[in-house]
A = this chain, B = another copy of it.
Amino acid sequence: MNDSVIISLPDWVEPELNKHPEVFPTLEDRMKLVISFSKMNIDNKTGGPFAAGVFETKTGKLVAVGVNRVVPLGCSTAHAEIVALSFAQKKLGVYDLGEPGLPDHQLVVNWCPCVMCYGAILWSGITSLVIAGSSPEMENITGFDEGPMHPDWVNELEKRGISLIDNLLKEEACKVFNYFAEKGELVYNARSNRT
């Protein structure tokens, strides 16, 4: 069998991060970083138009970023949220970002997570989720399927101690999806060829 599965970030990520401060005080600062990374992932042809960042909620210190890596890595679970959460857990040496003694952590994403990433968020230990939007726009623009979310998904987050902030810089996020769609790029849409 194979020895291991390796999830890596594109080479441009680290130099790009070096252009920024380590701390992103406002939610807008955090979302702007994430949206800019979603666009750079398109321009560098290193994955789909999605990016995410894990921050310390209170201070805004960046812990880890992730971008969609499905096609380049040949790994259908390498969505931006899972990449960001996994790098954050690796960096801190924990499987639970909500472990006692750690500061609260927040995940910032340039759109509502798909059902897989929704579940990943539940088990990650973050206590705050910030998204640019959750309406049908993204699916309509890109053709991506978010999967069957629980009808009461927001309350189900809250039941598990995760608060949601929605509709932050929605227009800016949609601009990137439109940019992606205009290029005629494909968002991998599992099983669409079979249904």
Contact = CB atoms under 8 A, between A and B. Distances in A.
A194 B3 contact: no
A10 to B, nearest CB: 11
A77 interface: yes
A89 B5 CA distance: 9
A119 interface: yes
B86 A75 contact: yes
A4 B4 CA distance: 12
A120 B191 contact: no
A116 to B, nearest CB: 3
A20 interface: no
Contacts of A191: 98, 122, 125, 127, 160-162
Nearest to A113: B119
Question: Which one of A8, A13, A89, A145 has the highest number of Cβ atoms from chain B below 10 Å of its Cβ?
Answer: A89
Interface in A108-164: 114-120, 122-125, 127, 145, 147-153, 156, 159-162
Interface in A1-44: 1-9, 13-14, 17
Copies of the polypeptide in the assembly: 2
A101 to B, nearest CB: 12
B87 A74 contact: no
A195 B159 contact: yes
Contacts of A149: 150
Nearest to A159: B195
Contact of A117 (B8, B64, B119, B193): B119
Interface of A: 1-9, 13-14, 17, 64-65, 70-71, 73-77, 82-83, 85-87, 89-91, 93-96, 98, 100, 114-120, 122-125, 127, 145, 147-153, 156, 159-162, 188, 190-191, 193-195
- Ranked nearest first, the 6 interchain pairs of A and B with the lowest CB-CB distance are A116-B119, A161-B194, A115-B119, A148-B150, A148-B156, A160-B191
